[in-house]
Amino acid sequence: MTSLVIALLLGSLSALVMFPAAQHLRSLQGGERAQATLHTAGSCMAGHCSVEFEADGRTVVADLPVGSGGGKESVGADMAVRYRADDPQVVARQEDVGGGGAALLAWGSGGVALVFLALSVLFATSLARQRRN
């Protein structure tokens, strides 16, 4: 039963959080490019970082999305970002617009979910055979 719960949680993480995050990052590949500085450091993969940059002559502070890298950078670190021209609050690090860590984590957690699902099926069939005998 525990294996099934773990499989469902990891599968949900992969399908509902990480795959959409990777798609969002990829959607910014054609965005406007700007030089930014890390404004708030934290767990960037969880979406707890923000950057400061110039867009259309004004200073913008925007949160990096879930799945971003750069969590080991310290506040003030320079980095290139891509942002939507019509909404500069939608931004991602240049290095992440290919899907980056979000895509890797999505595939990894999906694979581990399948392993736990297989373990659940094996355990259930083993239990059913024991009860039949």
CATH label of the domain that carries residue 40: 2.40.50
Q: What's residue 34's pLDDT? A: 94
Q: What's residue 100's pLDDT? A: 66
Q: Radius of gyration (Cα) for the chain, nearest Å?
A: 20
- In this prediction, the residues of the chain whose per-residue pLDDT falls under 70 are 70-71, 100, 102-104, 133
Which residues constitute the domain of residue 121? 1-26+98-133
Number of domains into which the chain is organized: 2
Contact partners, residue 91, CB within 8 Å, separation at least 6: 28, 31, 36, 51, 53, 60, 62, 63, 64, 65, 81, 82, 83, 84
Question: Does one domain contain both 35 and 13?
Answer: no
Over residues 69-91, the pLDDT tens digits come to 766 778 888 999 999 999 999 99
Provide the phi-psi class of 56: left if phi over 0, else alpha when psi is between -120 and 50, else beta.
left
* b/e per residue 95-119 (b: at least 16 CB within 10 A): ebbebbbbbebbeebbebbeebbee
Provide the phi-psi class of 67: left if phi over 0, else alpha when psi is between -120 and 50, else beta.
left
- 86-to-20, 89, 91 alpha-carbon distances in Å: 21, 9, 11
- pTM, entire model: 0.68
Question: Does one domain contain both 1 and 13?
Answer: yes
Question: Does one domain contain both 34 and 93?
Answer: yes
Question: Does one domain contain both 78 and 41?
Answer: yes
Question: Does one domain contain both 120 and 69?
Answer: no
Question: Does one domain contain both 8 and 48?
Answer: no
Angle, helix 100-132 to helix 19-27, in steps of 10 degrees = 160
